[in-house]
């Protein structure tokens, strides 16, 4: 089984490297920026033709949400053009394509959990480029009759793993500051890259039904709620922080303006994915977000990474 993983040095890419270590029988090729710049579609195409993967796990993306406002062309090249090319390869060669999208394709109005077929309405360039990626991937498979050609787009949110992320930022600041202001009116679900990678591999190895799926753990929180859970767990794990949990101040998003607008509501229903997993005979009960966050922070503490 030949598997191609892009974005090997990103949070999800690194999680794939760990998880795919459990499959020594697979022939895996990992692509980082230096192996293939995904803006270079000719090189990407020739890598696909020569390696001929049966599964592509596309963990690469342009993820600099604020910088994207100034780099629209590059964001679209990586988040829309490159995935569309990979999708066309899979559609034409009877391969499986796993691609990742984001809660930022929604405008975040209301307080309901978004379903997969809710109309997208991204607020910023990053979200627009990811929405274009979703369309490009979906269109590549339209009318394809090869039963081995399939795609899944996993929309996820608030990802943390090996790399820079909100949790690590909070922990860094908590060592130096005795007060912190964190946004309390944006709602979403933190997602462990390791959990998402393990789930993706299980799914990709099956004859899964093509489509868009929401892939986040159970529950919901705010950035403030997440920061509190992180600081509390770090203290429980014996980490010496300057910041006390009670000194995290809840502020509205309007008090922390950023170049790119963010959705206020990033809640996404995962029922469709859970049902699909159930039908495939896979574990369909998702863990609670805070269980995974606590395990992540404990692990960072154990490895003295805080």
Ligand X SMILES: NC(=O)c1ccc[n+]([C@@H]2O[C@H](COP(=O)([O-])OP(=O)(O)OC[C@H]3O[C@@H](n4cnc5c(N)ncnc54)[C@H](OP(=O)(O)O)[C@@H]3O)[C@@H](O)[C@H]2O)c1
- Residue 47 near residue 82, CB atoms below 8 Å: no
Taking CB under 6 A as the binding criterion, the range among 156-164, 223-231, 270-278, 287-295 that sits at the site for ligand X is 156-164
Instruction: Count the site residues for ligand X by CB under 6 A.
Output: 26
Residue 103: both structure tokens together? 């809660």
In the complex with ligand X, which residue's Cβ is closer, 88 or 155? 155
Distance CA 175, CA 279 (A): 46
151 an active-site residue?
no
Q: Find the binder of ligand X among 63, 186, 221, 233 (CB under 6 A).
A: 63
What character string, x for contact with ligand X (CB under 6 A) and - otherwise, covers 169-198? ------------------------x-----
Residue 63: both structure tokens together? 């993820």
Taking CB under 6 A as the binding criterion, the range among 4-12, 203-211, 288-296, 298-306 that sits at the site for ligand X is 4-12
Using CB under 6 A as the binding rule, whether residue 221 contacts ligand X is answered as no
What character string, x for contact with ligand X (CB under 6 A) and - otherwise, covers 9-38? xxxxx------------------xx---xx
Using CB under 6 A as the binding rule, whether residue 216 contacts ligand X is answered as no
In the complex with ligand X, which residue's Cβ is closer, 39 or 235? 39
Q: Considering the complex, what minimum distance in angstroms separates the CB of residue 119 from ligand X? A: 19
Q: Find the binder of ligand X among 4, 5, 55, 61 (CB under 6 A).
A: 61
Which is the catalytic residue, given 89, 100, 104, 126?
126
Q: Find the binder of ligand X among 95, 120, 153, 159 (CB under 6 A).
A: 159
Match 């944006």 to its residue by tokens: 186
- Residue 272 near residue 213, CB atoms below 8 Å: yes
Residue 209 is given by DSSP the state P
DSSP 95-142: -EEEEEEEGGGS---SSSPBPTTSPP--SSHHHHHHHHHHHHHHHHTT
E strand residue ranges, the chain: 2-6, 27-31, 55-58, 96-102, 150-156, 159-160, 180-183, 187-188, 191-192, 211-214, 221-222, 248-251
Q: Find the binder of ligand X among 4, 47, 78, 153 (CB under 6 A).
A: 78
The angle at the Cα of 260, spanning 259 to 265, to the nearest 5 degrees, equals: 135
Which residues are at the interface with ligand X (CB under 6 A)? Answer: 7, 9-13, 32-33, 37-39, 59-63, 78, 100, 102, 130, 156-159, 163, 193
């Amino acid at each position: 089984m030949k598997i191609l993983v892009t974005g090997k040095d990103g949070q999800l890419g690194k999680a794939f490297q760990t998880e795919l270590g459990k499959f020594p029988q697979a022939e895996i090729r990992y692509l980082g920026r230096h192996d293939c710049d995904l803006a270079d579609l000719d090189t990407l195409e020739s890598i696909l033709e020569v390696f001929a993967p049966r599964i592509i796990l596309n963990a690469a993306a342009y993820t600099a949400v604020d910088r994207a406002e100034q780099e629209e062309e590059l964001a679209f090249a990586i988040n829309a053009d490159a995935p569309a090319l990979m999708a066309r390869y899979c559609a034409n060669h009877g391969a499986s394509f796993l691609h990742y999208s984001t809660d930022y394709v929604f405008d975040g109005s209301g307080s309901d959990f978004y379903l997969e077929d809710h109309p997208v309405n991204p607020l910023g360039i990053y979200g627009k480029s990811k929405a274009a990626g979703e369309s490009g991937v979906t269109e590549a498979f339209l009318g394809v009759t090869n039963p081995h050609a399939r795609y899944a787009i996993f929309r996820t949110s608030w990802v943390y793993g090996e790399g820079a992320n909100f949790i690590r930022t909070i922990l860094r600041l908590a060592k130096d500051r005795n007060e912190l202001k964190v946004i309390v009116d944006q709602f979403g679900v933190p997602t462990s890259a390791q959990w998402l990678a393990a789930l993706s591999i299980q799914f990709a190895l099956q004859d899964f039904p093509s489509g868009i799926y929401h892939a986040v753990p159970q529950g919901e929180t705010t950035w403030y709620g997440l920061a509190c859970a992180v600081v509390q767990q770090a203290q429980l794990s014996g980490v010496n922080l300057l910041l006390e949990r009670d000194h995290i101040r809840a502020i509205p998003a309007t008090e922390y303006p950023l170049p790119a607008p963010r959705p206020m509501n990033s809640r996404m229903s995962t029922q469709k994915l859970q049902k699909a997993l159930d039908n495939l005979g896979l574990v369909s009960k998702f863990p609670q977000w805070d269980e995974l966050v606590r395990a992540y922070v404990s692990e960072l503490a154990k490895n003295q990474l805080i």
